[in-house]
Structure 1
Amino acid sequence: MSGCYPGLAALFGSKADRLLEKEFARAVSYTKKNTAKGGSSKSAHINDTSLPTSSQGGHVARSSAAAVQQLANDIENVLFAVFDQRLIKNYGRESAGLRLLFRAVLGYMRTTGRDVLDMGCRTFAAATGKHQSTVARLLPVLVSASEGILVKVADAKGRNADVYLVQLPEQYRQLARDLSWRKGKIYGLRPIFRRLGDTAALVYEAIERSRFSPTTAGIIKMTGYSRTAVDNALASLAALDLVHRSRRQWLITAGANLTALARRLGALDDFEEQVARHRRERAIWQAWLDRHSTRVQERDIYDPERDEYWLPPGQDWGWQHLHEIA
């Protein structure tokens, strides 16, 4: 009743409390009886990784945790192989925010173990170091640019945020199979990079997630940034001993502690302050909803003692009859 489909419960109106439990019990009984007979419905699937299609055309059922992790691995391959360069080409400066938001989506997908995400803009804002209004502007752009990978399946209502489905369209499945999965985890914007910037975050990721230790030229190719921007980012990272150079290749410094460094630079305080502010804003919004939300009763919609229709006069009526009535 408070999940992705509050409209289904609303169909029962004021009788929801009495009818939902009864109808659910009948559905369970029917399913058990059908299974005992060896029958199957059209929505049955071979295994738990297949996604049933909803009446709106989108896949909304939850996959198993293992299937979600595999799906995230496949989408990461497509992201690094195709979408990073496409976003850079089509969206210019805005591409950095879109790329980090895409990574935040996959990061939350891994953390929650779900391919259906009901995260609000403030949650993604904390994960990307952006303002929630910026995230609200970037999310529809990312949905359009992802070509079916990120699909909005339900609008926000009351306490519920927008609901998004993460999936791998058919046109990218062969590419995902051909590429081996990358080591490590994917992140949005870790707190330390609130101080160092988006460019440094993507340069660090290029070194951290690369299949081989990259050269400066390789980092430029992977990130799509100019030579000057990459050199400046590498200098900032090297100054904090986050990366180091061995011959011509760049490597992650094994002993570097990003969390401790973020706290020392004050970046972790910024993150915690943003999270605390979001909690206060949610509390204010929920309190407003509690004050203004009222349960609609059946009598508010229909009064049986009041006629809600008017029959037009027959053909034997004339204008004088209507005048007399008036």
Structure 2
Amino acid sequence: VSLDGATAQSVAITASDADTLSLTLDGGSAVTFDVADVEAVTATELADAVNALFDAESVDITASTDGGELVLTADTASSSDVASVAVSNVAETLAGASDSGLAGGAESLTNVEAKTVDTLVSEINASSSLDDKVRASNDNGSLRIENQSTNDLTVTGVTSSTIDGGSGTDTIDGNEVRKDLATQFNDLRDQLDKLSDDSSFNGINLLQGDLLTITFNETSTSTLDIQSEDGETINSAYLGLSTIDADALDADTDIDSLIDTVKSALGTIRSQASTFGSNLSMVENREDFTKNMINTLETGA
């Protein structure tokens, strides 16, 4: 078979056993396909087997059946262009096998029917290799491709207005929204570190892991030590927030993972804030107690 005048490739189909076909393309790795009986292969089974081979070898041809005959259609077909699949030198060597409907000599299939926009949309969105990269939709009868990646996307086989399967290319700019979000994330991360660095009073910065010891009596037998957990510096590194590149937001799964990291960081900050708040309450209670005692002593005196 050959596509659009390209170099012909040899398709060999043999029987591995009573219910298994073995298919190769140009003598490459074999693809096996189960059938009911290798001596009575139906057109549908043959089409499915050929499709399995073409999918494995990335051949842009799809096999189907029409009235019990095998039909080969170019995947590059479009309404504005003729895509042809040429079939030549066909020979059956399986004794007793049913007629595939292909005759020897050359057959050319032209003017094939174009895929509909809805079909293209379904196939693009169903492709696992395009997950989180592009999203297709039907925009009033036109194929709309949304680039979800932050990198520019080059589409081959198109012009500025049509899909023709040719050598033309068009470029879809990267997702600017996600690029901007990555920049905002990094800016906020930097501000977090600056806030941690600037949170100093009287030479002590609790967010930098400094130890503040509060003494409640003149003999220093009653004290309270206030410090971050394990004396750690509360900054972006401690919270697990690293600088990100724009392409770190290409995949929705990566964004979800980053959101989980931010949630974990917020949990850590809330926990430390709760600890500092508890320390403050104890200091305020001791302060109120001391003031009340002073007032009582002064009144009694």
Confirm or deny a common fold (TM above 0.5): no
Q: Which has the higher strand share?
A: 2
Q: TM-score, normalised by structure 1?
A: 0.25
Q: Using CA pairs below 8 Å that are at least 6 residues apart, which structure has the higher relative contact order? A: 1
Q: Which has the higher helix share?
A: 1
Q: TM-score, normalised by structure 2?
A: 0.27
